[in-house]
Amino acid sequence: MQTSSLKVASHTFNWGRRTYVMGILNLTPDSFSGDGLLGEVEPLEEGNLSSQKNKKIISQALEQALRFVAGGADILDVGGESTRPGSELVSPEVEMARVLPIIRALVDEVDTIISVDTYKPDVAQAALEAGAQIVNDVWGLHADPQLAETVARYNVPIILMHNRSSWAHAEIKERLGGRYVGVPYDDLLEDIKGELLESVSLALAAGISKKNIILDPGIGFGKTVEQNLELLDRLDEIRSLGYPILVGPSRKSFIGYTLDQPPDQRLEGSAAAVTVAIARGADIVRVHDVDFMVKVARMTDAIVRRG
């Protein structure tokens, strides 16, 4: 069992002692899970929060964040670009307009670690300047390796996710949403481990400290339903790489297609996936339903972390 620790601002993660919960704040109009907090955002000038629309968005995001904190969230993950199959890419300027006002507001309101979900160096730098303390890169430094230099310069933790998402293997059904089909792997776990270690090499080469690296096997990203199920069941093989592990199964399509349920009816399936992830060694779970999943995590910890 891992016993190392990571200090982030005034908080300390003691890996292996308990499961940490990351609450998702989707500041997008097109989240796969239906929880996006905004429609098309008006661009914000620096410090200009006078728009009634923007005030409402910030108020809604703060309200959700405060519920997450009250429910036991250890980290708030703020994202301004959807990652669902078929989602539209946005410019760094639009992404910053979405996330920066919320991050600034959160810094003033909560003493909780804030993560920015981005693969863009400019967005990451602006978010870190605004008060974010972790960078969550869904492309594991493969979308823009310059992000590694930014993270190294600020000496903050980075989450490196495995991702083989591709339009060529995306299938979208109206009720159940997007999934990936026919994604080729020579050996699922060995391929994922090898590609994660490629991301680690990029991070270390840029000067990111090993202790600041967290791995995410990328449940739902470029993997079929069956591949996601197998990956979750064999998560301990990812843990064997020696880094803390974050897993984000919440409301994902592999749950929907397994249970034939749309995103807003995947609570029980998400709970089952979170339970198995913790039992297989996850250190952090990234979830939408924070209050519910904190209880799931605490109960699972009581069973599997008794030593």
pLDDT digits (tens, 9 = 90+) for 92-142: 998 998 899 999 999 999 999 999 999 999 999 999 999 999 999 999 999
What ranges do the domains of the chain cover?
5-304
Which class in CATH covers the domain with range 5-304? alpha beta
Write down the pLDDT at residue 201: 98
Question: Residue 307 above 90 pLDDT?
Answer: no
pLDDT (tens digit, 9 = 90+) per residue, 141-152? 999 999 999 999
Among the listed residues 179, 251, 266, 286, the single catalytic one is 286
pLDDT, residue 60, reads 84
Query: Strand 284-287 and strand 246-247: pairing?
Result: parallel
H or E element that contains 246:
strand 246-247
Is position 56 annotated as part of the catalytic site?
A: no
The catalytically annotated residue of 104, 223, 239, 252 is 252
* pLDDT surpasses 50 at 85: yes
Give me the chain's average pLDDT, please: 89
The answer for residues whose C-beta is within 8 angstroms of residue 281's C-beta and 6 or more apart is: 235, 236, 238, 239, 245
Q: CA 32, CA 145: separation in Å to the nearest integer?
A: 26
Which residues make Cβ contacts (< 8 Å) with residue 218, sequence separation at least 6?
Answer: 138, 161, 162, 163, 164, 192
Please answer whether residues 33 and 251 qualify as being in contact, where contact means their C-beta atoms are separated by less than 8 angstroms. Answer: yes
- Binned at pLDDT 50, 70 and 90, residue 87 comes out as low
Per the annotation, the verdict on 286 as an active-site residue is yes
Vertex 28 angle, CA 212 and 288, to 5°: 60
In eight-state DSSP terms, residue 23 is E
Averaged pLDDT, 219-247: 97
